[in-house]
Amino acid sequence: MAGLNWLIRAWHEHRNVVLADEMGLGKTIMTLSLFDHLNKVYKLRGPYLILAPLTTLEHWKRIADEWTNLNSVLYYDPGSSEGRQEIRQWEWFYTDVTFKGTITQKSELYKFNIMITSFEVFTSDLNPILQEIPFIYIVVDEAHRLKNKQAKTLKMLKDHPCKRILLLTGTPVQNNTKELWTLLNYIEPEKFNNMDSFMDQYGNLESYE
């Protein structure tokens, strides 16, 4: 509850955040509870985006179904892009059957609240498919994958118009301050805009002061 309240406070303060905690202490549940809170209290139905490693996609989907009433879609197909086209056809928008029997899509409102997808699918389908979706929150699981400032996924995330970001990681990038700066520069580029000055101030991790 303390972690969830902290995330809600960060939302009110218009802050992007890093949630760093050991495995098994509830980062997934806190994240999905935040989305459920935003939906129930503020009527923000999304859409929300969760980027996660392939091996955890089913876990995210299962927890989303168990802990929220939000409609989550697993946007992944191991076969090909044709499978994702099927998902876009049936899970993207609400459909209507016209009086002539044809099926039309209503593109004003997305059918899903939460999209769960892999890093690989995100980089493959960002432009122009995912780039056009007005996500109000992007969550990156195992965010230490973004620690290299030249990482392709990080660059593409910066190009997406969504500015509300939550990065999930365990021990923050193995206590490497340069890699930590990369994450902070992504979520708060104006405050953390110079790696050299950051290293001068925080580069020595021998003391917490």
Tens-digit pLDDT profile for residues 111-170: 899 999 999 899 888 888 899 899 999 999 988 888 776 688 888 888 888 879 999 987
Spell out the alpha helix ranges (H) of the chain: 2-12, 27-42, 57-67, 81-91, 119-125, 152-159, 177-187, 195-202
Give the pLDDT confidence score for residue 28 in this predicted structure: 92
Give the pLDDT confidence score for residue 164 in this predicted structure: 92
* 3-class DSSP assignment, residue 110: strand
Give the pLDDT confidence score for residue 105 in this predicted structure: 54
CA–CA gap between residue 139 and residue 141 (Å, rounded):
6
Q: What is the residue extent of each domain of the chain?
A: 2-79+110-202
CATH of domain 2-79+110-202: 3.40.50.10810
Q: Which residues of the chain have pLDDT under 50?
A: 99, 101
* 3-class DSSP assignment, residue 18: strand
CA–CA gap between residue 199 and residue 178 (Å, rounded):
7
Residue length of the chain: 209
Torsion sign across C-alpha atoms 146, 85, 75, 165: positive
CA–CA gap between residue 133 and residue 127 (Å, rounded):
11
Question: Phi, psi (5° rounding) for residue 5?
Answer: -65, -35
Contacts of 42 (CB under 8 A, 6+ apart): none
Give the pLDDT confidence score for residue 101 in this predicted structure: 46
Supply the DSSP string of 92-105, one letter for each residue.
SEEEEE-TTS-EEE
